């Protein structure tokens, strides 16, 4: 019996977590007349999923928003990994003067919230005439101190003797970093990829600041336009849009779940 108690508690917690998503999905398939029905019964009297999703499709370019999201998330992730992996390797495995200081700066930078930087970044991008571009959406996130820190923790556990054997075998530091050490930290890489993609896919704050053009809007901003525009109280359609925006992330997590959990538990990041 005692074995089931923790599972029961966790299952209740999961229900609480999942309830809003359930409601979202439910609203997306209900007719307007049923929307404020308190019942959680999964089968609506008037099945209106088709109507709600069609409304999303006809009113806003949801495909375009999704594509924007993919471009922005992929661009950010690629540059983040390309810069964070060498930095983390240097901090974890190389000896150089000032290493402790650099690490302290990285940890310090973790404490700076995005909002504190928003204004100077906006002004800089405006002066450079780069507002309303994909670059403006991505640039502030190219350097991720979180990634540097996460990879450093994970790289530190890579055996030094293998790195030394590689040096004797003729591997360059670049080869060692990308082909051996990162190879040994793939769970961390996928964990970070999920963190990064989820954060930037769902980000509304920064796109709202730098983008005015609907054609550049990532999904959450697109949703905002959608609700602003005319839908007003058409919650069914709104939730259908939200479902569409959320679905890729859920799929993404389910596919990489095992790797993600290995990456988190291995590095001790919570």
Partner 1 sequence: MDLTRTLTATPALALHGVAKAFGGTPVLRGIDLDIREGEFLSLVGSSGCGKSTLLRIIAGLETQDRGTLEIAGRDVTDVDPSDRNLAMVFQSYALYPHMTVRENIATPLRMRRLPGAARLPLIGRLVPNQSDTRAGIDAAVREAAEVLQITPLLDRRPAQLSGGQRQRVALARALVRDPAAFLMDEPLSNLDAKLRAHMREELADLHARLGTTFVYVTHDQVEAMTMSNRIALMDAGEIAQLGTPSELYERPANLTVARFIGTPQMNVLPVEIAPGGTVMLFGRPTALAVRSAPGPATLGLRPEDLRLARTGWPAKVLRIEPHGADRYLTLELPGTGAGRLVLRQYAGAEVIPGDGQVHVDFAPERAHLFGADERRREVAQRAEQVA
Question: What residue ranges bind partner 1 (CB under 8 A)?
Answer: 159, 161-162, 164-171, 180, 183-184
266 burial type by CB count under 10 A (0-12 exposed, 13-18 middle, 19+ buried): middle
Q: Return d(Cα 154, Cα 182) in angstroms, integer.
A: 9
Distance, in Å, from the CA atom of 235 to the CA atom of 182, rounded to the nearest integer, reads 45
Among 127, 145, 134, 149, CA closest to 206? 134
Residue 58 or 161 having the CB closest to partner 1: 161
HEC profile of 162-229: HHHHHHHHCCCHHHHHHHHHCHHHHHHHHHHHHHHHHHHHCCCHHHHHHCCCHHHCCHHHHHHHHHHH
Residue 165 CB, shortest distance to partner 1, in Å, is 4
Q: Is the Cβ of residue 56 or residue 180 nearer to partner 1 in the bound state? A: 180
Minimum Å distance from CB 260 to partner 1? 20
Q: In the complex, what is the shortest distance from the CB of residue 214 to partner 1, in angstroms, rounded to a whole number?
A: 40
Give the nearer residue to partner 1 in terms of CB position, either 169 or 230. 169
- DSSP letter at 141 equals G
CB 163, min distance to partner 1, A: 8
Q: Which of 80, 98, 92, 103 is closest to 267 using CA atoms?
A: 92
Are 88 and 267 in contact by the 8 Å Cβ rule? The answer is: no
Closest distance between partner 1 and the C-beta of residue 210, in Å?
38
Q: Which is nearer to partner 1, 29 or 182 (CB)?
A: 182
Instruction: Give the shortest CB-262-to-partner 1 separation in angstroms.
Output: 15
Which of 120/170 has CB closer to partner 1?
170
Q: Which is nearer to partner 1, 142 or 171 (CB)?
A: 171
């Amino acid at each position: 019996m005692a074995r089931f108690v923790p599972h029961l508690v966790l299952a209740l917690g999961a229900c609480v977590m999942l309830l809003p998503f359930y409601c979202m999905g439910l609203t997306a398939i209900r007719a307007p007349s049923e929307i404020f029905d308190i019942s959680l019964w999964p089968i609506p009297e008037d099945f209106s999923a088709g109507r709600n999703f069609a409304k999303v499709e006809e009113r806003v370019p949801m495909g375009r928003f999704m594509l924007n999201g993919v471009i922005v998330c992929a661009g950010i992730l690629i540059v983040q990994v390309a810069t964070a992996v060498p930095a983390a390797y240097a901090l974890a495995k190389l000896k150089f003067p000032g290493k402790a200081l650099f690490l302290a700066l990285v940890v310090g930078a973790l404490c700076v919230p995005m909002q504190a930087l928003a204004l100077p970044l906006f002004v800089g991008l405006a002066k450079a005439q780069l507002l309303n571009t994909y670059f403006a959406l991505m640039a502030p996130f190219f350097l991720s101190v979180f990634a540097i820190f996460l990879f450093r923790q994970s790289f530190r556990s890579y055996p030094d003797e293998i790195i030394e054997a590689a040096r004797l075998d003729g591997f360059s530091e670049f080869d060692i970093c990308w082909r051996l050490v990162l190879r040994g930290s793939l769970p961390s890489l996928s964990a970070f990829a999920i963190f990064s993609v989820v954060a930037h896919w769902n980000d509304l704050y920064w796109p709202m600041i730098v983008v005015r053009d609907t054609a550049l809007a990532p999904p959450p901003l697109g949703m905002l336009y959608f609700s602003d525009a005319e839908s007003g109280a058409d919650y069914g359609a709104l939730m259908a849009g939200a479902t569409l925006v959320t679905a890729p992330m859920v799929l993404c997590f389910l596919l990489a779940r095992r790797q993600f959990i290995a990456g988190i538990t291995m590095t001790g990041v919570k």
